[in-house]
Amino acid sequence: MNFLEKRGVDVSQLRALVRTGLRNDLRRSRFLSGTGRKTVHPTRALILVGLFSLMLGVGFAMYAVGARSVLLASIISCSSVMFIAASMILVEYYAIILSPDDFNILGHLPMTSQTYFTGKLSLLLIYILGFASISAIPAAIGFMIRSPFSLWRGAVAFFCMLFAALTAAMLMVLFYTALTRLLPQRPLKYIISFVQVIASFLIYGGYALMPRLVPEHWLTLAWQPALVHLFIPSAWFGALMQVLLGNFESWNLYAAIIGVVIFGNAAYYGLRHLAKNYLMIIAGDRQAAVEATVEKRAAPSIKRNRLPLLFRRPEERIIVTLLSGQFRNDTKFRMAILTIIPLIAMYMFIAIQEDALHDPFIDGSISIADSGLIYFALLLIPLLVKQSIEMSDSHEAAWIFFASPTSLHKLVLAAKRVSYFYFVMPTVVAVTVLFAYFFNHVAHAALHGLTLALLVYFAQQLVFMLKPTVPFSEPRTRGRQGALYAMAFFVGPGAGFAAMILIGKMIYPYPERLPFFYAIMFIFILALDRVIAWQMHRKFTLGSQPKGVAALARVSLPSR
Amino acid sequence: MIQIDNLFKSYGEKQALRGISFTIQPGEILGFLGPNGAGKSTTVKILTGLLQPDGGIAQVANFDVVREPIEVKRRIGYVPETGAIYESLTAYEYLELVANLQKLAPQIYRKRIDEFLDLFGLADDAQNQIAGFSKGMRQKILISAALLHNPPVLLFDEPLNGIDANSALVFKELLRKLSRQGKTILFCSHILEVVERLCTRLVIINKGQLAAEGTPQAIAQQTGAATLEQAFSMLTGVRDAVAHAEEFVNVLKTMQQ
């Protein structure tokens, strides 16, 4: 009897579960979208995440080669893979570990809770270790080829980085799963949303702040660890690497022991305690969902959503109802939207810390360049929001849009307007309020806010023009959200940022140009709105969309 | 054998089951009836281990569903009402997954999968993804999955959903044969004609409580109704169907005005 079987895990069942999980994730799946049934390629999203991991790894490989202190280089490399692991769990955890979808299919089959939990955990670790390896291989090569060349050093570095990623993943899984045990089931999904936001702050914040905390000229620094560094998780695995390379200094030993002990405890506690109760947790989650539905059904009167007066068209009312309903009830959607807050907040925090928030009407483009990350993040919001409102676990319910006389292009345009009003606008307003405080000039802050609002709206127009999709009509695929964040950190709307620099240089210093600038922006945006409406009208109404009974047959029935 | 004794289950403040009790003997096909929200699916989910009861005893093949859930799950075949299935898998892969989780030997399950797919006319679709299947085809896969390990107890929650008439005929005949072999079968359906013809005994529940139990004829006699449909309507407190339909039509007329 092996280690797993002793802990109640059936290895043959585990193998079947993992094989099925991978097949489910990596296969193309067909879904309804704006142009009828389409095929989604989940591998593309995974390739993007892989590229992101590879770029991180290559960056840290250069540090590994050049840094004077091997310990510091290894701590930073371990931080990068721990960041990959933690952020993947942050965006995928609910879908993989806590989702009750599998339980609906497999719950009646003779599996122990431990087998079920280990199956889910294995699937998660396969992805995490896969992406961590992509990042760790170049870094390990860097450690190997630094002078003097040592194959053993490279192998140890690779092992320690994977160990670090595994520990980060295990700790986060334990943290979330323990929460599900400790907290009452009913408000759990709301609490998890807020925990998610706090965790996002820690992970993205740590990632954004780390380069700023590292001392200048650290490449040539003979760094000595202090007692306080024992509290940094990546330091444990950097130290483990030192120990495995034969450096038995007391700090290295203490830090390495802490790492190994924490990993051992996490694995033991996870498999021994949480795994045993996992099925109950999932069943409890289902029951909480049923209870919520039953109570809503038993409510004496129908609660009507208060629709803002701004949205009077039928399509806009549909979208308002859909968005508010999804935000209230779909944890995955809520988490995807709420995770935007830390992204903006961290960049604002960094800009404030670095005293980079200056009035661009006085300092011109220099101020904009200094606080560039804020504009970068703001211009990303349309992309993040658009992606979030495309996907849903209930994507098949989108047949209703195709089978009713609703105009699809108006629906997509309504999604653009409503999502801007609900999610983008409040962020721009919040940033403008902060600008007003730091610029010490309300009118300048308001004008700058207006410029931002128009630019972000323009970005949103482009995003919708490039991929018009009926809201909540596409399935969630593994890695898609992660790929989005990879794009958020690497690709981003550089053109929008460049436009901001130009505005700071060519418009802001000349007050007489401002009215013309805003007038042109308004006309441009209105014209683009028309173009999008025409383009979508062509795509959804005049294009390949089947009509009448044929449309119904294709949409509501599978294509066989 | 299935034995349910004084079973209770609540969702928050709403009581879904209020002490229902009944037994199903081997070789019996029990029709389990009730209006929407009566507690049928809750009972079936408790029997399959998907939900935990708040009180009472539920036993399947002499194993307690709370204390020995794995033993129970080994002995049941279940077709869920929701039709939940992995759409990315092919028909063969899905049945292979179920066979592996039921711990069947490959030499046994390969032959059985082929036979079931053939029986339901799905042999040509064995290697196609379920995502492209019609509702009836999916249902056939779920029925095959429930029967694959030849369990002594079968729980069918609306198994005929979306199935064409010919396959339904095959399925009903299959159920009769299985009951003759001594299988215990619980059959939930809203199609009263099918239940009346297929089931040896009926249990009707309403608002989580037992409303009637016996053969279709006995239940009709008890209520003084001419048909099972009328008896069901009387027992479950549904308002006069004609008056109810009239109300709907009136609502539509008001909308037209």
Distance (Å, rounded) from C-alpha A241 to C-alpha A444?
53
How many residues are recorded in chain B? 257
Give the residue from A43, A17, A94 showing the smallest Cα distance to A393.
A94
What is the gyration radius of the CA atoms in chain B, in angstroms?
A: 20
Going by pLDDT thresholds of 50, 70 and 90, the confidence category of residue A158 is: very high
pLDDT-based confidence at residue A32 (cuts at 50, 70, 90): very low
Which pLDDT value is given to residue A559? 34
Is residue A27 within 8 angstroms of chain B, CB to CB? yes
- The reported pLDDT for the residue numbered A155 is 94
- Give me the sheet containing B209-214, strands edge to edge: B76-79, B153-157, B184-188, B29-33, B201-206, B209-214
Residues A20, B89: C-beta atoms closer than 8 Å = yes
How close B121 comes to chain A (CA, Å)?
Answer: 15
A277 near B CB under 8 A: no
Indicate whether A488 pLDDT > 70: no
List, for residues B53-83, the tens digit of each pLDDT value: 999 999 999 999 999 999 999 999 999 888 8
Of A2-6, A108-112, B30-34, minimum mean pLDDT range: A2-6
Asked which of A99-113, A150-164, A195-209, A342-356 is least confident by mean pLDDT, the reply is A195-209
Among B51, B100, B131, whose Cβ lies nearest the Cβ of A30? Answer: B131
- Please give the share of chain A, as a percent, with pLDDT higher than 70: 72
* Inter-chain touch A558–B89, beta carbons under 8 Å: no
A137, pLDDT greater than 70 = yes
DSSP state of A95: I
> Does B80 contact A108 at a Cβ distance shorter than 8 Å?
yes
**C-alpha–C-alpha distance, residues A74 and A161, integer Å:** 8
CB-based contact (8 Å) between A559 and chain B?
Answer: yes
Q: Which residue has the higher pLDDT, A53 or B70?
A: B70
Of A98, A79, A105, which Cα lies nearest the Cα of A20? A105
pLDDT in the model for residue A33: 44
What is the per-residue pLDDT for A550? 39
Inform me whether the pLDDT recorded for B96 exceeds 80.
yes
Mutation choice for B interface testing from A23, A108, A279, A293 by most B CBs within 10 A:
A108
* Statement: residue B133 has pLDDT above 80: yes
Give the residue, A344 or A40, on which the prediction is more confident.
Answer: A344
> Average pLDDT for residues A13-35, to the nearest whole number?
73
Any bridge partners for residue A544, and if so which? none
Confidence of residue A554 (pLDDT cuts 50, 70, 90): very low
Q: Quick one: pLDDT at residue B232?
A: 87
Chain pair A-B, CB pairs under 8 angstroms: 99
Which tokens sit at A58? Answer: 């290559």
* Whole-angstrom distance, CA of residue A26 vs CA of residue A187: 33
Report d(CA B246, CA B254) in Å as an integer: 12
Contact A460, A466 (CB under 8 A): no
- Inspect the interface and report whether the beta carbons of A13 and B100 lie closer than 8 Å: yes
pLDDT of residue A292: 55
Looking at residue A162, its pLDDT comes to 93
pLDDT at A549: 37
pLDDT of A293 above 70:
no
Report the pLDDT value the prediction gives residue A551, as an integer from 0 to 100: 39
What residues does B154 pair with on adjacent strands? B77, B185
Output DSSP code: residue A358.
Answer: -
ipTM score over 0.85, yes or no: yes
For range B110-137, the mean pLDDT = 90
Per-residue pLDDT tens digits for A416-438:
889 898 888 998 999 999 889 88
The CA R_g of chain A, rounded to the nearest whole Å, is 26
- Name the residue among B14, B76, B80 with its Cβ closest to that of A294: B14
pLDDT score of B52 = 87
State the average pLDDT over residues A325-346. Answer: 78
